[in-house]
Amino acid sequence: MKIIVTGATGTAGSELIRQAINDPEIELVTAIARNVIGFKHPKLREIQHTDFRDYSSLHAEFKNHDAVFWCLGISQSQVSTKKYEEITYSFTIAAANAMLTSNPSSSFLFLSGAGADTSEKSKTTFARIKGKTENALKSITSLKLYILRPAGIKPVNKNPKLPLLYKLFLPLFPLLEILAPSFVIPSDVLGRAMLKIVKNATDKILFENPELKMLGKE
């Protein structure tokens, strides 16, 4: 299987790449990113791409891969609401449509988040826009879609490119694992769950945090 990963420098995307490289069923991992991700492996290739609303130059890549893992994202605290919607919603929908046009048989996995509100009425930007994106993806006819809603993703490997706010939150994970263990999911467990979902080609679309933990630990 050949896969595309976006958000390759983030907690989920970077760990997904590590897990995919160690998976004998994954032949090739193509990371699409604005900047060099700083990680080398024979199974990994990088493509620098700057306009995430236009994928015309990536037609051949979408055509020759079996799945796209959309892990690109940003914290709502780092950007304006308008920018957050562009990154979370507009970039994602444009990519899903481009992938479907190039390769209708491929899968699109969207990394959403716990609390995503598909009523689109939440006052929280994250919940409202994630829910809006989920709804739009589900409305794309013939898209082979998987939506994942992890909760608190605990990094198991050091990542110097993490946002400052996330780094400040890291010391709280041991406490959260004691007080709210169902809320926390280690990044390697999430990575394995993502791969398993796509490889098994299940008919199920939506996966919440408890099920992701179960899948990633099996």
Distance CA 103, CA 64 (A): 8
Contact of 37 with 90, CB cutoff 8 Å? no
Phi, psi torsion values for 132, nearest 5 degrees: -60, -40
The model's confidence at residue 115, banded by pLDDT at 50, 70 and 90, is: very high
Residue 176 scores a pLDDT above 80: no
pLDDT score at 169: 56
Give, as one character, the DSSP assignment of residue 1: -
Pairing type for strands 2-6 and 144-149 reads: unpaired
What range does the domain containing 75 cover?
2-217
- Report how many domains make up the chain: 1
- CATH number, position 40: 3.40.50.720
* DSSP for residue 76: T
Helix (H, G, I), strand (E, B) or coil at 165: helix
Q: Is the pLDDT of residue 51 over 70?
A: yes
181-203: pLDDT as tens digits: 677 899 999 999 999 999 998 88
Res 24: pLDDT: 96
- Does the structure show a pLDDT above 70 at 7? yes
* Average pLDDT score over the chain: 91
pTM above 0.85, yes or no: yes
pLDDT for the residue 171:
63
